[in-house]
Amino acid sequence: MQTFYLSHQNEIPAGFPDMVLALGYFDGVHIGHQEVIRTAAAIAAEKNCALGVMTFHPHPKVVLSPDTDENNMRYITPLPHKEDCLEREGPDYLFVVQFDKQFASQEPQEFVDHYLLPLQVVHVTAGFDYSYGRLGRGTMETLPFHSRGRFGQTVVGEVTQNGEKISSTAVKEYIRTGDVAKACSLLGRPYSIRGVVEGGEQRGRTIGFPTANIEKHHTYAVPQPGVYSVRIYVGGRWLDGAASIGFKPTFHDEAPEDPVIEVYIFDFNEDIYGWNVEVCFYTFIRGEEAFNSAEELIEEMNRDVEKARDALAAYPDVPGSS
């Protein structure tokens, strides 16, 4: 896959082969997004064309909503993670379009003329609710008008699971409420957070549960405080563990601004400070509690580990490599 970062300031590259293009924001690259890309892939194979995916960054909210900026925006897949998930769908080309004020204010016709036609697009696929151009005025209904017969289109209808619409909003809501198992079924893979292991309060080792703390500077949506069964990708392998997300009320009276994400890795004893890891969340085990003593916490942690081991046994497949 070749990736191109496009913006209004830069000339759109030329010289592409005929291309079928899947269009969308694709936060999470969930099952519905996968359907949009797979539909494009099938058409590309039929027409013997290249397969492209076009996505946008940052999220329009960052540009259009006064209360949101890139620091407090939360993604299911921040851009580098989204790029990797999209790559797994096997496109030849990925176009990441800079979503800024200028991009947001262009007329729908300009988007088609400036971003789609120069890329040799012969067909596009998008979800039924995809919109483009100023105030989202361009829709899949208006696209045939703006494309003026220069390319065809396939609209992918609502993808549902047990009657429920699969959407990035739904996935985010499941993450927010800690229902990571449900998020997993809509994503088609476990929800995961990547980051660097950083130092914590160095208490873990003293209570028999060292925990790898994931750096806090990220834009991932964080599951609600509690204990989760997880797999963590460390140094080329996936290892089972139990994660705690929260403020450690057993040891702190005041909650800091951001919760800590930490993972106790089973049957493991290595120094991994500074390592890049990915944590996949499988099931919610319990909410975070303030215990009366470290001993009570330790007893509960032992039960958590048993529960996490049992829960992970139901997921024998390790995730695709990080």
Interface contacts to ligand FMN, rule CB under 6 A: 200-204, 209, 211, 213, 227, 242, 244, 248-251, 262, 264, 288-289, 297, 301, 304
With CB under 6 A as the contact rule, the residue among 162, 202, 292, 321 that binds ligand ADP is 202
Q: Is 235 exposed, middle or buried (0-12, 13-18, 19+ CB in 10 A)?
A: exposed
State how far the Cα of 315 lies from the Cα of 37, in Å rounded to an integer. Answer: 26
Question: Minimum CB separation from ligand FMN for residue 176, in Å?
Answer: 19
**In the complex, least distance from residue 207 CB atom to ligand ADP, rounded to whole angstroms:** 8
Report the residue number, 255 or 318, with the smaller CB distance to ligand FMN. Answer: 255
To the nearest whole angstrom, how small is the minimum distance from the Cβ of residue 170 to ligand ADP?
32
Which one of ligand FMN, ligand ADP, none is in contact with 273 (Cβ closer than 5 to 8 A by kind)? ligand ADP
CA pseudo-torsion sign 83, 84, 85, 87? positive
- Reported in sequence order, the residue ranges of 81-137 that DSSP labels E, i.e. its strands, are 93-98, 121-127, 131-132
Q: Please give the structure tokens belonging to residue 138.
A: 């361009």
Question: Which contacts (CB < 8 Å, 24+ apart) does range 146-153 have?
Answer: 146/108, 146/109, 146/111, 146/112, 147/112, 147/116, 150/117, 150/121, 151/116, 151/117, 151/121, 151/122, 151/123, 151/124, 152/122, 152/123, 152/124, 153/123, 153/124, 153/125, 153/126
Nearer to ligand FMN, 191 or 209 (CB): 209
CB of 198 to ligand ADP, least distance (A): 8
* Residue 210 engages ligand ADP in binding (rule: CB under 6 A): yes
Q: How many CB atoms lie within 10 A of CB 19?
A: 25
> At closest approach, how far in Å is the CB of 216 from ligand ADP?
13
Q: Which does 288 bind (CB under 5 to 8 A by kind): ligand FMN, ligand ADP, none?
A: ligand FMN
- In degrees, to the nearest 5, what angle opens at C-alpha 104 toward C-alphas 103 and 110? 60
- In whole angstroms, the minimum distance from the beta carbon of 265 to ligand ADP comes to 4
Q: Which residue, 55 or 213, has its beta carbon nearer to ligand FMN?
A: 213
Q: Is residue 212 near ligand ADP by the rule CB under 6 A? A: yes
The correct pick among 271, 316, 317, 321 for binding ligand ADP (CB under 6 A) is 271
Q: Choose the contact partner of 265 out of ligand FMN, ligand ADP, none; CB within 5 to 8 A by kind.
A: ligand ADP
The least distance separating ligand ADP from the CB of residue 318, rounded to whole angstroms, comes to 18
Q: Which does 197 bind (CB under 5 to 8 A by kind): ligand ADP, ligand FMN, none?
A: ligand ADP
DSSP structure string for 194-251: EEEEE---S-GGGGT---EEEPS---BPPPPSEEEEEEEEETTEEEEEEEEEE--TTT
Size of the site for ligand ADP (CB under 6 A): 20
The CB density around residue 162, as the number of other CB atoms within 10 Å, is: 5
Question: Contact region for ligand ADP (CB under 6 A) — 12-20, 54-62, 263-271, 285-293?
Answer: 263-271
Which member of 136, 152, 204, 319 binds ligand ADP (CB under 6 A)?
Answer: 204
What is the Cα–Cα distance from 247 to 259, expressed in whole angstroms? Answer: 5
**In the complex with ligand FMN, which residue's Cβ is closer, 9 or 202?**
202
Q: 92 by DSSP, 3-state: which?
A: coil
Nearest to 21 by CA among 118, 101, 110: 118
- Binds 268: which of ligand ADP, ligand FMN, none (CB < 5-8 Å by kind): ligand ADP
Residues near ligand ADP (CB under 6 A): 197, 199-205, 210-213, 264-265, 268-273
